[in-house]
Amino acid sequence: MLGQTDLTTIIAIIISIVISLTIHEFMHAYVGHKLGDTTASEAGRVSLNPLQHIDPFTTVILPIITVVLFGVPILAAKPVPFNPASVKFDDFGSAMIAAAGPLSNLGLAIIGSLLLHLATGAVLVEFLRTFTILNVAVFVFNLVPIPPLDGSRVLYAFAPDPVRQLFDTIEPFGIIIVFALVLMGGFGNVLGNIDQSVLNLLP
């Protein structure tokens, strides 16, 4: 997906991931704080300091390995804690918190795409290209409706009770299921095709 994986590209991937995941998790925490839940704030997560959000393995090492081997970044930051009982608007407030993360990545992708049209110099162009592609990938991947990904949190707010019960049952194993599906090609070309469709729509 990202083409060649030389040292410049790998550095661009690392920087892009740190920025993208920091903003993603910050927005989860910020929206939760605005909706009345102080859990993330008390944990120091309403912060633009990457060290508050990144996990050395799941945020940095794992996506590099999976990009090189499979062409798809599999990554995760430290989950932002929140207390649903403290959030305004009940499940809909929780859905807003969940949606804030991937929507921030879509916003970053749009910014990256706009700057790419203005950029000069091979290094800057490569970085902005990588930054844009990765943010689209994070946006799309997080909308997969399998717990604990953000898409499942959004869907949960509107789902009937049987679907909610299913989500509650599989959530402890959800991230393992997602990783296994990606590594075994369980999504086929679906995510890649959606990524490309979103990229085609960017300015």
Which positions are catalytic? 25
What angle in degrees, to the nearest 10, is found between the helix axes of 90-118 and 190-201? 60
> What CA–CA distance (Å, rounded) separates 62 from 60?
6
| 106 Cβ contact list (under 8 Å, min separation 6) | 135, 136, 139, 198
**Amino acid code (one letter) for 143:** L
**Overall residue count recorded for the chain in this entry:** 203
Q: Are 104 and 112 in contact (CB under 8 A)?
A: no
Question: Taken in order 70, 51, 106, 104, is the CA torsion positive or negative?
Answer: positive
Residue in 137, 108, 138 with CA at minimum distance from that of residue 196: 137
Number of other CB atoms surrounding residue 193 within 10 Å? 12
How close are the terminal C-alpha atoms of the chain, in Å?
Answer: 20
> What CA–CA distance (Å, rounded) separates 32 from 97?
6
